[in-house]
Structure formats: structure tokens, C-alpha cells
Amino acid sequence: MNTDFANDLPTKIKIEKIYESYVPYLTVVMQNIEKKLQQNIHLSSQPTYKARVKSFDSYYKKILRIKPHEAAKSDKIVCLTDMMGIRIICAFLEDLSVVLDELQPLFKIKEVERKGSSQNFKEFGYESIHVLIEIPKECIPAGDSFLNFNLPEEAVCEIQIRTILQDAWAEVEHELIYKSEFSPFDLPLRRKLASMNASLSLADIIFQEIRDYQKKLQGEMEERRKSFYEKADELDSLVPEKLSDGTDKIERISPYVKGTIDDMLLDAIHAHNTGDLEKAVRIYTQIIESKPEPDKIVLSVIHKHRGMAFFARSEYEKSLEDFKLSADFDPSNFRAIYYEGIVYSILRKNKDAVECYTRSLELNEYQSHAFYRRSLAYYEMHDYEKAMQDITAAQKLGLTSDACIALHNKLIAQFDMNM
């Protein structure tokens, strides 16, 4: 019998005893790293975190495969790169690079691997970004219960970055193929798996395209809304400065689906923002005349936008008509009713303006600007008590513009004069 060969075989009981003794220690290390990630990774849609310390059975199988001789000779824990694993699951493809960038200053990164990036469309392995980080000193657990534990210098934690769909595929693939140690040889079955993987990858791409489109549309809408408020403020003798919501203009991107209502709306708003109001009104009118389905909500939105374009052209009666139609098509559209009030204010029909602001606030009581403008209307009507109540409400909700302060000071002066 070859005793040298027998001595080179790893002893499972010994390895298990060492590994299991480290599990509580590894768990705390991993939890500390996860906490650091949660405190420092910032996305518009917050990611989901999954963390696990590798089970002994999985650990032992891998040890036998890649480090059997080291395990046989060592009386200490033998490190694998995936003993501690943390998964960051993101909503969109764009989030993956953001997370990777935000990891750079947080940890000393030892390796970055983009799994699946070299696969062709006929293959069905999962995609994921795997990052190996050095264990930060501040994540090493302290306390008497951990005095006898220390990790070798080569110890790392694996951080996986995936989208929701990439993670879903990886979980299923792990159950079907990896855990069962089965790789399908049948061509039709391989094609089905590849097709499913391709479908999920395509879905991720489509979700990202929709996300890009929404961000572009939102950016254009914010610009258009800002210009609307600026014009309203310019026409208001009590407002010393233009409102600004701090929105940065997003770079122009190609429309998502050419010829759709969304595409036409984006073109119209972009034309509006660049000063081509005639084109904007023409496109809005084309959408309205097409009688879109579901018509009521869509028509409410389009009438609101066209009303803003008419307002920018100083066609206040047409603007007013569109805002009224917008509210008729969608009675919950508090913003259209608020815009209606702004037009009445510009026309110096303050009683009608107050009625609109009140209706809008009944639908959404957290509109600081609606309180401010109703206060302004009350001031014009010499109802200083109600004006003071509204300006106080506006400031309580966080409105601290110079215009708001100026009106507040004017009201204080009125009360002082009447004392």
C-alpha cells in the first residue's frame, strides 16, 4: 500500500472541524462588508443584497477539486475566493457599472471578472460581474470570542453584481445544471436553454432602453415645466426672481419607438424646450386628433402639455381651455388644475385662481408652490389673513425662495400698518 499517497489525502473530518469553527467568524466579516456596501452604494432604484457563507459540503467539494494537497497538509483554514459571497442585485443594466465604480474607493480590489461576456448567442451560461476584494481591517470582528481567529492574507470576499433577470437565470441554471452536475447534450434542449437566456438578456436590454427613454422624457418635461414657471413669474409683479428646480438637461437620445405617441410626445416637448412652439403645438394637436387609446389619461396629459405651449406663446385663453380639458379627462390631475389657476392669476382673475388652487390642494395638500400662489392671489384680493396662512404653509413645506420671503415681508408690513 502506498502510504505516501494515503498521507496526501485530505481528511474530511479535520477539514470540516476547522471550517465550521470559522463559520461564525466569516459570517460577521461578511455582514460587516455588506453593511459597508449598503451605506455607500447609491442608486436611484436601491439594489437588493444577498449574502452567504459557503456551506461545508460545497466548500469541501471545491477543496478536493482545486486544493486537495494544501488541505491535507494544513492545520489552518484553506481559503477559497468564494467562501464569503455577497450579491448586489440591481434593477437595470446601467446600474452594474455604477456599482462597480462605487466599489473602487471602498475596497482594495484584487480582481474583476465579467462572467458570460465572451459567450456567443448559442451558449446559456449566466452573466455576472464578480469582484474579489481584500478584507478591510475595519470589517474584521473584534471581541473575546474571536481572539483566536485570523484569516490568511490571501483571504478575499467575492462580490457579485447582477441585474434581477441575470440573478433569476443564475439561480435556475444553478439548480438545473451546476447542482445536478448535468450538462445537456441534447441539441433541442440546449437550444431551449440558450433561447431562454437570450430572452432574459433581451429583456434586460429593453428595460434599459425604456429607462433611458423615461429619463430623457423626464428631463425634457422638467425643462418644459421650469420654463412655464419662469414665464409665469416674469408676468407676476411680486416675484423678484425666476423659479429654478435645479434640473440639468439630459443629452438628447434617439427615440425608443419611432412613430408612437411616446415618440411624438418626446419630439413635441423637445421642440417646446428649444423654442419651436409652433412645431410643439402641431404635434400635440396631431396626438389629440388621433384619439389615442386609452384616450382619457393620454388626452389629459397631452392637453396639459399643449396648454403649456399655448401659455409660452401668450395665448392664455387657449392655454386655459387646454388645462380645463386636461382636468376634465383626468379629475385627479392636480397639476393641470394648478396650471389653470396660474393662468387666472396672470389674467388677474384672482377669485377664479383661488378656486383652482384650492381644488388642486384638495387633491394634493403637499404643494408648497400652490400655497404660495394662492397666498399671492389672496394678497391681490386684500385678504391678508388668508394670505399669511398660506405663505406660512408654503414655508413650512420647504419653500424658501426670495419670492416667498418677499411676499411674507409684504404681509408683515400690512399687519404692522393695520396695528
Question: How is 118-147 classified by DSSP, letter by letter?
Answer: T--TT--PPPEEEEEEEPPGGGS--SGGGT
What percentage of residues in the chain have a pLDDT greater than 90?
49
Nearest to 268 by CA among 332, 312, 333: 312
Mean pLDDT of 210-218: 76
| pLDDT interval class at 185 (50, 70, 90) | low
Q: Report the range out of 1-5, 8-12, 265-269, 386-390 with the highest average pLDDT.
A: 386-390
pLDDT of 306 reads 92
pLDDT of 125 reads 54
Distance, CA of 352 to CA of 216 (rounded, Å)? 35
pLDDT, tens digit, 9 for 90 and up, residues 296-320: 888 898 899 899 899 989 999 999 9
| pLDDT interval class at 257 (50, 70, 90) | very low
Evaluate if residue 44 carries a pLDDT over 90. Answer: no
Contact status, residue 23 vs residue 54, Cβ threshold 8 Å: no
| pLDDT interval class at 95 (50, 70, 90) | very high
Q: Report the range out of 41-45, 115-119, 148-152, 233-237 with the highest average pLDDT.
A: 41-45
Distance, CA of 22 to CA of 141 (rounded, Å)? 12
E strands along 173-270, which residues? Answer: none
Distance, CA of 346 to CA of 231 (rounded, Å)? 10
The DSSP bridge partners found for residue 52 are: 85
Mean pLDDT of 244-256: 36
Strands 109-115, 84-90: pairing kind: unpaired
pLDDT of 241 reads 38
pLDDT of 205 reads 79
The DSSP bridge partners found for residue 77 are: none
Distance, CA of 174 to CA of 168 (rounded, Å)? 10
Evaluate if residue 210 carries a pLDDT over 70. Answer: yes
| pLDDT interval class at 287 (50, 70, 90) | confident
Distance, CA of 57 to CA of 50 (rounded, Å)? 20
Evaluate if residue 360 carries a pLDDT over 90. Answer: yes
Nearest to 49 by CA among 14, 84, 88, 7: 88
Strands 128-134, 84-90: pairing kind: unpaired
Mean pLDDT of 203-232: 77
Evaluate if residue 121 carries a pLDDT over 50. Answer: no
Contact status, residue 129 vs residue 96, Cβ threshold 8 Å: yes
pLDDT of 4 reads 55
Q: Phi-psi region for residue 315, left (φ > 0), alpha (ψ -120 to 50) or beta?
A: beta
pLDDT of 158 reads 96
The DSSP output letter for 92 is S
Give the global pTM. Answer: 0.59
CB-based burial of residue 337 (10 Å sphere; 0-12 exposed, 13-18 middle, 19+ buried)? buried
Half-sphere exposure (Cβ direction) of 383: Cα atoms closer than 13 Å? 14
Mean pLDDT of 69-95: 91
pLDDT of 138 reads 93
Candidate from 32-36, 44-48, 117-121 with smallest mean pLDDT: 117-121
Evaluate if residue 235 carries a pLDDT over 80. Answer: no
Evaluate if residue 2 carries a pLDDT over 60. Answer: no
pLDDT of 127 reads 73
The DSSP output letter for 117 is T
Contact status, residue 240 vs residue 402, Cβ threshold 8 Å: yes
Evaluate if residue 222 carries a pLDDT over 90. Answer: no
Strands 156-163, 128-134: pairing kind: antiparallel
Contact status, residue 343 vs residue 316, Cβ threshold 8 Å: yes
**Residue 250 CB partners (closer than 8 Å, separation 6+):** 215, 216, 218, 219, 220
